[in-house]
Amino acid sequence: MNAHHAIDLITALWLGGLGACIGSFLNVVAYRMPLGMSVIWKPSHCPKCRHAIRARDNVPVFGWLWLRGRCRDCGESISLRYAVVEFFMGLAFFALAYFELFRGRQNLPGGALSPFVGAMDVVWVPYWPLIGIYAYHCLLLSLLGCVALVDLDRQKVPSKLIGFGLATGIGLAAWFPYLHPAASLIFEDAPISFSGVVGALIGWGLGMAGARLLALLRQQPLDGRNLTVGFALLGAFFGWQGIFSMVAVLLFAGVATLVKKENSHWYAPLLLGPMALVQLATWKLLTEALVLQR
């Protein structure tokens, strides 16, 4: 391994660790926000003995392993979900660093944003537009992860979280248009600054229609609010091209709906984050295939 590859690996691991820490925070947000509790002022604590979790036990993933899944003070079981969320958020940040940040966003339509590649030339000697794109997409993955966790708890995504997600997704892209790559590939005269609004509206409508279709397939009422919110966030952050992820989620959810038991919980919102990551990895290939068909 040469020096550049070593620096890339160390940087990606550092970013993965940051993602794991954000995953730990998402666990708190998903539990507390639907209950109207503060996610900032009250430190993490055991729900049984109320003892604050020590800093050394709060290290993402490793803290759960060190404690063997139990509270240090009272022995109460700690759900494996905490470590799983932390691990997968860390893995998502790690992977995104390699195929987007270190490659100058060559994965996105429109080509590379910079001739520089590798962590040394884009992170340690900061190239802020690339770092901004990476952070923007990490924020989307974090929001989608939170939507999935809230849905797993059979709660509704809080309005404050919806407002924050849509405002940041649309507002940042309007202020920094390069965050929405090639937003006008099909609608060539459409202003890029409106792509987040258009995408969010498409997502909201497709989410509502998709939830109703899945309910008909399952022959059982389904609350599609969380799926609709997730689709709106995909549209806000990806523009109209977020429909790639939305259609893929609906296809997978449709198959899962047909094979699941009638009264079991549906997990369509769980697919949002993974499909967003898949789209980011293959986005350039998808749009090139679409343009070639025109």
185 pLDDT exceeds 60? no
CA distance readout (Å), 75 to 46, 48, 69, 72, 78: 10, 9, 9, 6, 9
Domain count, the chain: 1
CA distance 147 to 236: 15
| Mean pLDDT of the residues in the chain | 84
Closest CA to 46 of 72, 64, 84, 83: 72
Q: Residue 85 class from Cβ within 10 Å (0-12 exposed, 13-18 middle, 19+ buried)?
A: buried
230 pLDDT exceeds 80? yes
What is the chain's Cα-based Rg? Answer: 20
Residue type, 155: Q
Cα 209 versus chain centre, distance:
22
For residue range 239-270, list pLDDT tens digits in order.
888 888 999 998 888 887 777 655 556 678 89
For residue range 94-141, list pLDDT tens digits in order.
999 999 999 988 888 877 777 778 899 899 999 999 999 999 999 999
Query: Residue 266: its pLDDT value, please?
Result: 65
User: By percentage, how much of the chain surpasses pLDDT 70?
Assistant: 87
Compare 241 and 291 and report the one with higher pLDDT: 241
CA distance 34 to 25: 15
Longest dimension (CA), the chain: 64
CA distance 221 to 236: 27
For residue range 11-68, list pLDDT tens digits in order.
999 999 999 999 999 998 998 888 887 777 676 766 667 677 777 767 888 887 887 7
Least confident segment among 70-84, 132-146, 172-186: 172-186
Specify the long-range contacts of residues 192-198, CB closer than 8 Å, at least 24 apart: 192/239, 195/239, 195/240, 196/169, 196/170, 196/171, 196/235, 196/236, 196/237, 196/239, 197/170, 197/236, 198/235, 198/239, 198/240
189 pLDDT exceeds 50? no
Q: Which domain holds residue 247?
A: 3-292
* Assigned token pair, 157: 């995504």
Q: Compute the average pLDDT of residues 153-157.
A: 91
* Beta carbons within 8 Å of 4's beta carbon, 6+ residues apart: 118, 120
CA distance 34 to 284: 37
Closest CA to 148 of 254, 248, 266: 266
Q: Is 45 helix (H, G, I), strand (E, B) or coil?
A: strand
Query: Residue 167: its pLDDT value, please?
Result: 96
Residue type, 144: L
Contact 70, 78 (CB under 8 A): yes
Query: Residue 186: its pLDDT value, please?
Result: 46
Show the DSSP H helices in the chain as ranges. 3-32, 62-67, 80-96, 119, 128-152, 159-175, 195-218, 225-238, 243-259, 272-292
